[in-house]
């Protein structure tokens, strides 16, 4: 293990967990990742192994049969997993966001019902805000839930569900009529149960099929179509309608830490590949690592990897302290995703023509890194969040 992406102040338990995850990544993920990715094959054996490690319940409290670890521990584990194969970290991420939403906002009955089974991976979570005509503009959500007696009826179409098929529980943000002046107070999060698979997975809920993607393969990304899907009011997250937007934004903050961690993992792996190849490839009688142009490139790559990791750790620790971390998470996500793409491209350049070959791992990372720029909000969205907040903090008086 190199000197990059080390974290000070970890407990003995955290260190042991990370050691186990790193060993699993090196032995069980990296050797098969490229083959599975090229085949767009779901990594079932890897997922089963992560279940045995307790990763699905890493942050779920011990009283609900989880490990009760911090967001920092989770983020560092995600960083390691993404270093092996980013798609696998996607299997965990949306599951974790749903578990987090239940921990923070669910009723006690909802926690008892779902969290113990989420900790084992028996219940698998998916997270849904986007629609075909919207991404970051959450106010434009058109999927509606209309009250009908003691139930609600949901109609609409959702987009970009990671784990859309393999999940059995989807946290879905929809519009409801609460009579509020603000559109954001007329939104509700429902906990929608479904069967795994494609087609009609619950009455009035269809998962059409996988969306073919440039990268992020293996894990499925889907649509979800609601046609008169009836659901009880007891499936409203927290039991009270009209709070969905604020609940989801809380989940997005931790999701952005997760994406930052994934970007750090990809960047670290790209650096590892680049520095190894640069010592093996020779030109003009010496390894290319000894040429100043390549040496400088390696130095810049290492600095970017380390900077992104440091920002990600700060964002996670801020959230763990019970503070709002929208700025820290936005900064970490923006910086880590941008640096990830720069480091991957630099490693790609070091590999030369071989980097363009599917036989080399860097080709897969080149496609995967692009997703980091858009997942959980683009860099432009992060800049808006950061800019508005710092402007408020530094507003001139008088």
Report d(CA 141, CA 166) in Å as an integer: 24
- Residues 306, 5: contact at Cβ < 8 Å? yes
Residue 376 designated active-site:
yes
For helices 326-351 and 361-372, give the axis angle rounded to 10 degrees: 150
- Residues 214, 148: contact at Cβ < 8 Å? no
Q: What is the pLDDT of residue 215?
A: 93
Q: What is the pLDDT of residue 206?
A: 98
Q: What is the pLDDT of residue 394?
A: 93
86 Cβ neighbours under 8 A, 6+ residues apart: 215, 216, 262, 265, 266, 368, 371
Return the half-sphere exposure (C-beta side, CA atoms, 13 A cut-off) of residue 117: 12
Give the pTM.
0.94
Q: What is the pLDDT of residue 3?
A: 84
Counting as low any pLDDT under 50, the low residues of the chain are none
The catalytic position among 253, 306, 368, 376 is 376
- First CA to last CA across the chain, in angstroms? 54
Q: What is the pLDDT of residue 1?
A: 62
Can you say whether the dihedral through the CA atoms of 250, 253, 50, 15 is positive or negative? negative
């Amino acid at each position: 293990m190199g000197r990059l992406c080390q974290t000070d102040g970890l407990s003995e338990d955290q260190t042991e967990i990370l050691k186990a995850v790193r060993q699993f990544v090196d032995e069980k993920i990296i050797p098969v990742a490229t083959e599975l990715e090229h085949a767009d094959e779901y990594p079932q054996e890897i997922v089963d192994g992560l279940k045995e490690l307790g990763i699905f319940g890493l942050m779920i409290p011990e009283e609900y049969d989880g490990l009760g670890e911090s967001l920092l521990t989770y983020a560092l584990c995600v960083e390691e997993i993404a270093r092996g194969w980013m798609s696998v970290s996607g299997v965990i991420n949306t599951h974790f966001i749903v578990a987090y939403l239940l921990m923070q906002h669910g009723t006690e009955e909802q926690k008892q019902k779902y969290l113990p089974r989420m900790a084992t991976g028996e219940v698998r979570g998916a997270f849904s805000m986007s629609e075909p005509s919207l991404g970051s503009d959450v106010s434009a959500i058109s999927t509606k839930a209309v009250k009908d007696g003691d139930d609600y009826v949901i109609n609409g179409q959702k987009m970009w569900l990671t784990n859309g098929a393999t999940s059995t529980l989807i946290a879905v943000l929809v519009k409801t009529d609460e009579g509020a002046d603000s559109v954001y107070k007329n939104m509700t999060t429902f906990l929608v149960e479904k069967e795994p698979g494609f087609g009609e997975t619950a009455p009035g809920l269809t998962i059409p099929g996988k969306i073919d993607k440039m990268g992020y393969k293996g894990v499925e990304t889907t649509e979800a179509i609601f046609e008169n899907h009836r659901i009880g009011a007891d499936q409203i997250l927290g039991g009270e309608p009209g709070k969905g937007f604020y609940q989801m934004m809380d989940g997005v903050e931790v999701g952005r830490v997760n994406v930052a961690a994934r970007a750090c993992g990809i960047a670290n792996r790209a650096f590892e590949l680049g520095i190894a190849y640069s010592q093996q490839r020779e030109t003009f009688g010496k390894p290319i690592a000894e040429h100043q142009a390549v040496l400088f490139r390696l130095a810049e790559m290492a600095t970017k990897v380390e900077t992104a990791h440091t920002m990600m750790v700060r964002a996670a620790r801020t959230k763990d302290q019970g503070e709002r971390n929208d700025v820290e998470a936005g900064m970490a996500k923006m910086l880590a995703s941008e640096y990830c793409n720069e480091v991957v491209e630099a490693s790609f350049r070091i590999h030369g023509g071989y980097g363009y070959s599917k036989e080399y791992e860097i080709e897969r990372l080149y496609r995967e890194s692009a997703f980091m720029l858009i997942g959980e909000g683009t860099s432009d969205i992060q800049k808006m969040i950061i800019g508005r907040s710092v402007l408020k903090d530094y507003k001139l008086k008088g």
